[in-house]
Amino acid sequence: MPGKAAKVWITERQQPILIELSKSRTESQLVVQRATIVLRAFAGQLNEQIAQEIGLGAHQVGVWRRRWQAAWEELTALECREPRRLREAILEVLRDAPRSGCPGTFTAEQVTQILALACEPPEKSGRPITHWTRKELHAEVLQRGIAQISESQVDRYLKQAVLQPQRRKMWLNTKEKDPAVFAEQVKTVCQTYQEAPRRAAKDGTRTVCVDEMTGLQALERVAPDKRPQPDSVAKHEYEYERHGTTTLIGNWDVVAGQMVACTLGPTRTEPDFVMHIAQTVATDSEVDWVFVVDCLNVHQSAGLVEWVAKTCELDQPLGKKRETRHPEIAGHAT
């Protein structure tokens, strides 16, 4: 009599990793199959259904369900302690158990040196590049004599460590010098986002994040596109004419998850931003609005403060420009 199938659980962080592995073209076919087994078992499919769809025996499907079940608590604990290691830990669960044989070609010290090199800026090695490519990193490993290793093996170690030296993300350092003040500012913004759904459900308060994209080029192609044909893809004209630039001021509704009441115009001046806020509020003037903005000068201008004070019917003194700011106005225009 067949036994009961092992119950499978997946957390929100584990699921996208398993989906990625189930569609991977770089991992082994066995890992792809096993990730698929876990996902389908979590979806409630029976072992026989899964086995038929992926071309394995029901017994093999059951083995990997049980293996995932046995490892799940440890994976979840690791997810809380060291989330960066979660992907590699999942791979360890889905890979075959180590077999006896020759020891690894490269020592832990060599692998550590390769990863440390990937974290160094290339200019430190005298290379005229802004970030490492796989080829350049491999060449530097050989030049330093760290190991006689292939380029593909270097890439494998980077993937195992979830290290991507070839990628960059934009980052903005705070200009606030006092750590305590900065921490309080971060807390205020985070609480604003966290409270947005509750406030929207309670009294309809709209919480929006506002920012601008300047210098957008208005381009017109000199010829129309050619439509796709059975034997060719659509063709887009290369040449274009310039018609100046424009500025987009956008509002992201953090509860609805969509853009609302955006503004397009030639400039981003103090009057432009005040008009944008006024137009946004006018779209739903019966509810309260909370605006989250950065510290750009037009976001904290005298004109904006005066407009907020007038709209909120505040008759207290507003203070001098660049010296004081009315706390109640600041609360209405976060």
pLDDT tens track for 7-27:
999 999 999 999 999 999 888
Whether residues 271 and 241 share a domain: the answer is: yes
Does pTM surpass 0.95? no
* 84 vs 118: CA distance, rounded Å: 17
25 in any annotated domain: yes
Average pLDDT over residues 186-197: 95
Percent of the chain with pLDDT over 70: 91
Tens of pLDDT along 93-140? 998 766 665 566 889 999 999 999 999 999 999 999 999 999 999 999
The answer as to whether 103 is a domain residue is: no
Q: Say yes or no: 277 and 316 in one domain.
A: yes
Q: Quick check: is 2 in a domain?
A: no
> Quick one: pLDDT at residue 221?
92
The verdict on 194 and 325 lying in the same domain is yes
Structural domain that includes position 216: 179-225+236-332
Q: How far apart are CA 224 and CA 236, in angstroms?
A: 8
Position 224 pLDDT exceeds 80: yes
pLDDT at 326 over 50: no
Does residue 100 form part of some domain?
no
Supply 332's token pair: 């209405």
- Say if residue 186 is in the same domain as residue 315: yes
Rounded Cα gap, residues 262 and 210, in angstroms: 9
Q: How confident is the model at residue 3 (pLDDT cuts 50, 70, 90)?
A: low
214 assigned to some structural domain: yes
326 vs 69, 311, 317, 320, CA distance in Å? 57, 14, 8, 10
Among the candidates 94, 121, 144, a domain finishes at 94
Q: Are residues 183 and 319 in the same domain?
A: yes
Is residue 283 one of the residues assigned to a domain?
Answer: yes
Same domain as 201, residue 278: yes
For residue 193, give the CATH number of its domain.
Answer: 3.30.420
Structure tokens belonging to residue 325: 């700011």
DSSP bridge pairs for 216: 246
Domain boundary, last residue among 94, 118, 143: 94
* Count of structural domains, the chain: 3
Burial code (b: 16+ CB inside 10 Å, e: under 16) for 18-48 equals beebbeeeebeeebbbbbbbbbbbbeebebe
Pair (129, 55) in one structural domain = no
The pLDDT, as a whole number, for residue 329 is: 42
Kindly state whether residues 264 and 321 are assigned to the same domain. Answer: yes
For residues 112 and 20, membership in a common domain is answered with no
330, pLDDT greater than 80: no
Answer yes or no: do 318 and 265 share one domain. yes
Buried b (16+ CB within 10 A) or exposed e, 194-232: eebeebbeeeebbbbbbebeeeeeeeeeeeeeeeeeeee
In terms of domains, do 278 and 193 share one? yes
- For the cut 80, the answer to whether the pLDDT of residue 161 exceeds it is yes
Q: What pLDDT band is residue 147 in, cutting at 50, 70 and 90?
A: very high
On whether residue 173 sits in a domain, the answer given is no
Mean pLDDT of the chain: 88
Looking at residue 141, its pLDDT comes to 95
Residues 276 and 189 in one domain: yes
What pLDDT is attached to residue 66?
92
Assigned domain for 230 exists = no
